[in-house]
Structures are given as structure tokens and as C-alpha cells.
Amino acid sequence: MTCQLASEWHQPERFYEVLGRVMAALAAVGVLNEMTALRWWSADQTWKVEWRTGPDPHDVAAMLWQAAADPQHPASVALRAMTSLDRSSGSPHYAFLQVLDVPVMLRVLDPAAPDMGLVAASV
């Protein structure tokens, strides 16, 4: 017997459940409204959750990890299946989670977007 990762093709119900859990948890920890141009898609059996500007993905991942550990937190039910947090990606733009054995990548495109007022004043 081989162990297969959940994917859209092999276990679609679990794969899509993970996206729902992650999005519910982002709302419960209060960062969903801070993310601009939020998008998600699947590639390589991994959910990619990406936003233009907003919180640092490592901070978001840490908040999700802490919420999962606190049974009183509203996000803990959604994140009960969170099994790991990988901070070793080496990039400040990416953070990785495992939820129900499905990899989830959190990514911000512009982690430190310049203040538009300063840009306009310097031109």
C-alpha cells in the first residue's frame, strides 16, 4: 500500500476542505481583511494562497500555528488538522503549512510596499 498525498484528482473532497479550513482560519485570526488582491489556486498538489500587500506570511503562519494550539480560539476548529509549520524556506515572501497532509503555501508579493505619498513627493 502506498501513501498518496491528497490532491484534486486523488482525494478532491479533502483537498478542497483544506482550502476552506485555511480561509476560515485566516478570517478567524483577523488577517483576511488586511490582505489585498487575495488569490488562491492549486499547483503541484499544493494550495497557493497569495496576496498583493498585507501581513508577512511568516507572521500569518505563526498566528495560525498559535491559534491551532489554543482550544479556545475560534480558528482552532478549522486548524485542528494543521500538522506542521515550515519556516525553513529561506524566503521572506513564503511560508508553508501542512493541513490534513496537504501543503499550503502562503505568499505575499509586496511585503513592504512603499508609501505612495512618499513616492509622489519624490517625483
For 75-109, how does the pLDDT look when each residue is reduced to its tens digit (9 = 90+)? 888 888 777 767 565 667 788 888 888 899 999 98
pLDDT given at position 94: 85
How far out from the chain centre does Cα 41 lie?
12
pTM reported for the whole predicted model: 0.77
- Within 8 A by CB and 6+ apart from 94, the residues are 57, 105, 106, 107
Bridge pairing between strands 39-43 and 46-51: antiparallel
Does 5 fall in a domain?
no
pLDDT given at position 101: 85
pLDDT given at position 4: 54
Number of structural domains in the chain: 1
Strand partners, 46: 43
Does 104 fall in a domain?
yes
Which CATH number do you get for residue 18?
3.30.460
* Helices (H) then strands (E): counts for the chain: 3, 5
* Domain that residue 89 falls in: 12-122
pLDDT given at position 6: 57
Is pLDDT above 70 for 59? yes
Q: What cell was used for 22? A: 485555511
- Within 8 A by CB and 6+ apart from 38, the residues are 32, 49, 50, 51
Does 103 fall in a domain?
yes
pLDDT given at position 51: 93
Does 7 fall in a domain?
no
CB 55 within 8 A of CB 34: yes
Q: What cell was used for 57? A: 506570511
Does 29 fall in a domain?
yes
pLDDT given at position 110: 81
For 4-51, how does the pLDDT look when each residue is reduced to its tens digit (9 = 90+)? 555 555 678 888 999 999 999 999 999 988 988 999 998 888 899 999
pLDDT given at position 44: 84
Does 33 fall in a domain?
yes
Does 4 fall in a domain?
no
Residue type, 85: L
